[in-house]
Amino acid sequence: MATSITPAREDSPEAGELVPTRRGGYHVLTRYDRRVLMVMVGIPLLLDVLLIWWPTVSSILLSFTNWDGVGSVTAQNFIGLKNYQFMFSGYTLFWPAFLHNIIWLAWLALIATPVGIFFAVLLDRDIRGTGFYQSVFFLPVVLSLVVVGFIWELQFSPTEGFINNAFGLVKSGKLIDWL
């Protein structure tokens, strides 16, 4: 097996070498490095803007209109803060839901997170039975995957599965083994 190593171009700088610019300054990164950096930063940034910021800003802007989520978005009228006035005064389910969110936030911040950190530190120490305790704590994570797999296996079972029964394949005898 032959390995071919392409020699570096003579005009390409070494790693970390300063590259002179036309204006008399220096770049640490080569043009290729800057392009790679732009791609590696640009694609996640574009995905972040498209999948997080665009829907968030759109939702905030739509909250100031009378659009009910049905029909064309263009058939909306600006109503200002009326939605928020209704939410705070006329919508009776808002304050109990808000209170439940505050309770949940307090529970996570004051109890669940410190207890989780305490157990993580405790299990990281070399004490007797650490492997057993780590297995017991990790078991719900693994078990949920096992249960999901078992449910999918039941759904796609050739003889008793929901899919073959839904298509009427069990009665006709033309069973499909999906897995």
For residue 27, what are the β-bridge partners? Answer: 19
Contacts of 169 (CB under 8 A, 6+ apart): 175, 176
Both tokens of residue 8?
């570096």
Task: Give the per-residue pLDDT at 104.
Answer: 94
φ, ψ dihedrals at 26, nearest 5° = -135, 145
Task: Give the per-residue pLDDT at 46.
Answer: 97
What confidence tens digit (pLDDT) does each residue in 39-88 have?
Answer: 999 999 999 999 999 999 999 999 999 988 888 888 889 999 999 999 99
DSSP-H helix ranges across 15-129: 31-48, 54-62, 82-85, 94-107, 113-124
Burial class (CB in 10 A: 0-12, 13-18, 19+), 99: exposed
DSSP state of 65: B
- The C-alpha atoms of residue 164 and residue 159 are separated, in whole angstroms, by 7
Both tokens of residue 20?
């002179």
For residue 26, what are the β-bridge partners? Answer: 20
Task: Give the per-residue pLDDT at 146.
Answer: 80
What confidence tens digit (pLDDT) does each residue in 122-177 have?
Answer: 888 888 888 888 888 888 777 887 888 888 888 888 777 777 777 776 677 777 77
Note whether 88 and 94 are within 8 A (CB). Answer: yes
Q: What is the pTM of this model?
A: 0.49
Note whether 160 and 178 are within 8 A (CB). Answer: no
Domain range annotation of the chain: 16-91
Task: Give the per-residue pLDDT at 179.
Answer: 65
Distances in whole angstroms, Cα of residue 16 to Cα of each of 12, 26, 28, 35, 148? 12, 11, 6, 16, 50
